Structure 1
Amino acid sequence: MTEPAPRLRADARRNVEGIRQAALKVFRTGGLNSPLEEVARAAGVSKGTIYHRFGGRHGLIGAVVEDLVAERIIGIITAVDAIADPVERFEEYLRRIWLLQYDEPAANDVLLRTLPGCESANVLCKRASEAATRLLVDAQATGRIRGDLTPEDLHLLIWERGIIARACGHHQPREGYERRLEYTLTGLRTARG
């Protein structure tokens, strides 16, 4: 039988929560590869304290990814699953995921798998990928989405959008980014679409 983890003192719990809140802020604006020094500075602790409390970057990401990204991605999946038309459901999923990549650098990092050793981020990316594949298959069954579009193609389209969002950042107006998303969606439709 394993012994329960020791209970943290009140000041240590505040310290851990302060690091979590700082990580949420830093990762939200700069992505998951933001320097841990920035998180430490924002939390008012040393980088060593982050390693002591979380075991490093992956442990810290694991402690915040649910609040930072998972709610958004799972929220998108849940929202689009409520749409009746399979093609609308598929297109709305892509539209929302692509906009999330533009708006949230940390979500983009998860979808681009920039931290391959981070299990919590990989699980979330896999969940998003499985949802995209399911939505693609349902949309293709209508005959209105290209039958030659594969799950791998779809993954690469999401990956490409992430690279574009990262490269252009907010130097590219959101309206233009959204307009170009619609061109891509149009290209996925058949003549019947």
Structure 2
Amino acid sequence: MTSDPPRLRADARRNVEGIRLAALDVFRAGGLNSPLDEVARAAGVSKGTIYHRFGGRQGLIDAVVEELFAERIAGIITAVGAIEDPAERFEGYLRQIWLVAFDEPAANDVLLRAQPGSGALTALCERASEVAGGFLAEAQATGAIRADLTPDDVDVLIWERGIIARACDEQHRDSYVRSFEHTLRGLRNP
């Protein structure tokens, strides 16, 4: 016989939801490694409450990663999935992923797998990688994309762009886009 977890009191439920919402805001602004003190302050609770309710950073990340990034990834997949040309679809996917990495620190942390202990984050990354591999295979079948490019290479390209986005706080978005457009041209068959 399994027992259901005890129901939280109303004030505890409010604390949990407040922590979750604060974590979404803090992580979106500063990434997944933002200090838990910032999350606690934004939620109006002690840092100990975060540990008590979520077990620490990993549990908190697992509690918000779906809302933080899964919806964004699903939107990208849907949008680029509507592109008819397989090479344009593949390139569109990379463009969108790279822009998310530049624009959203938490999304970049997800793509860089900055929290490898998170099961939810790992599953999300694996799903995104599978989708990218499918888009790659379809694009390669048309002959437009180099045949020697592998799904692992695509993962590395995404990680490299994420590292560039993280390291270049002063880089303008236009320069970032210009740079990745050069990379995309290199993926095409000559």
Residue 45 of structure 2 aligns with which residue?
45
Residue 108 of structure 2 aligns with which residue?
108
Residue 15 of structure 2 aligns with which residue?
15
* Identity across the alignment (%): 72
User: Matches of residues 55-134 of structure 1 in structure 2 within 5 Å?
Assistant: 55-134=55-134
Is 1:180 matched with 2:179? yes
Is 1:163 matched with 2:163? yes
In 2, the alpha carbon distance for the partners of 1:104 and 1:2 equals 41
Is the partner of 2:168 in helix, strand or coil? helix
Q: Given the two structures, how large is their TM-score scaled by the length of structure 1? A: 0.96
In 1, the alpha carbon distance for the partners of 2:155 and 2:64 equals 25
Structure 1, unpaired ranges of 5+? none
Question: How many corresponding residue pairs?
Answer: 190
In 2, the alpha carbon distance for the partners of 1:146 and 1:95 equals 17
Once superposed, which parts of structure 1, at least 4 consecutive aligned residues long, lie more than 2 Å away?
A: none
In 2, the alpha carbon distance for the partners of 1:64 and 1:108 equals 15
Cα offset for 1:10? Answer: 1.1
Cα offset for 1:96? Answer: 0.0
Q: Given the two structures, how large is their TM-score scaled by the length of structure 2? A: 0.97
Q: CA RMSD in A?
A: 0.9
Give a deviation string over 1:153-174, Cα, whole Å, max 9, x none: 11111000000000013x1111
Cα offset for 1:178? Answer: 1.0
Structure 2, unpaired ranges of 5+? none
In 2, the alpha carbon distance for the partners of 1:92 and 1:128 equals 14
Is 1:147 matched with 2:124? no
